[in-house]
Amino acid sequence: MLTLFHAPQSRSTRILTLIEEMGIADLVKIEQVNITRADGTGAPDRANPHPDAKVPALLHDGTLITETGAVMLTLTDLFPGRLAPAADDPKRGEFLTWLFWYGSVMEPVLILQGAGITHPWLTKTYRGMPEIVSRLHTALSKGPWLLGDRFTAADILIQSPFQWFKDATPDDPLIRDWLARGAARPALRRVMQAETQRRAA
């Protein structure tokens, strides 16, 4: 059994998008929980099993999975052939690279930039926005998606911050076109609409 612990309009929204894109909504129970938001509103929820009271968290037959990349990989492995290359597919390594790169490099860089924090150690460790733009631009020059012809969970994950923080979108035509292609997908539109209603409720 699969249960996703979710808070509307948060980092777990991209898991809803993945579920919708994979057509597995009837196989994953969605448990809505409260979280502490960046603006201080909300609160930790005792119903949320995440050790840091965050989302997303996925409970799979009694095993708890946290971290967006791990949750995505669990779902794409459990329902193969939909939004990820299989383990023996030559594109698998590229796919894994994007999932790990997002959490280990891209998100820290976006957060540090948003907070206006710079330090030589940070630049040495993560590099910065120019390197992120260059990496995306290089992949998308072979597009239309990060892995080429195939739309995958990596596109959902790496597009997600720019759906919420549009001002952070790099001024690069390939990246902007790729984001527009993602925004036009019916699954994302359905999820975003439902999320607005959930948040308002």
Choose, by CB under 6 A, the member of 28, 55, 109, 187 that binds ligand GSH.
55
Q: For residue 103, give the nearest of 154, 40, 64 by alpha carbon.
A: 154
Q: Tokens 């739309």 map to which residue? A: 151
Which span (22-30, 53-61, 138-146, 183-191) binds ligand GSH, by CB under 6 A? 53-61
* Shortest reach from residue 127's CB to ligand GSH, in Å: 19
Map residues 95-134 to x or -, x wherever contact with ligand GSH holds by CB under 6 A. --------x-------------------------------
* Shortest reach from residue 144's CB to ligand GSH, in Å: 25
**Residue 4 interacts with ligand GSH (CB under 6 A): yes or no:** no
**Residue 35 interacts with ligand GSH (CB under 6 A): yes or no:** yes
Choose, by CB under 6 A, the member of 19, 28, 53, 139 that binds ligand GSH.
53
Beta carbon nearer to ligand GSH, 23 or 100: 100
- Calculate the alpha carbon distances from 118 to 52, 111, 151, 166 in Å: 26, 11, 34, 22
**Residue 56 interacts with ligand GSH (CB under 6 A): yes or no:** yes
Phi-psi region of 106 (alpha: psi -120 to 50; beta: other; left: phi over 0): alpha
Q: Which long-range contacts (CB under 8 A, 24 or more apart) does 135-140 make?
A: 135/101, 136/170, 136/172, 136/174, 136/175, 136/178, 137/172, 137/174, 137/175, 140/174, 140/175, 140/177, 140/178
* Shortest reach from residue 39's CB to ligand GSH, in Å: 11
Residues that bind ligand GSH (CB under 6 A): 10-11, 35-36, 53-56, 67-68, 103
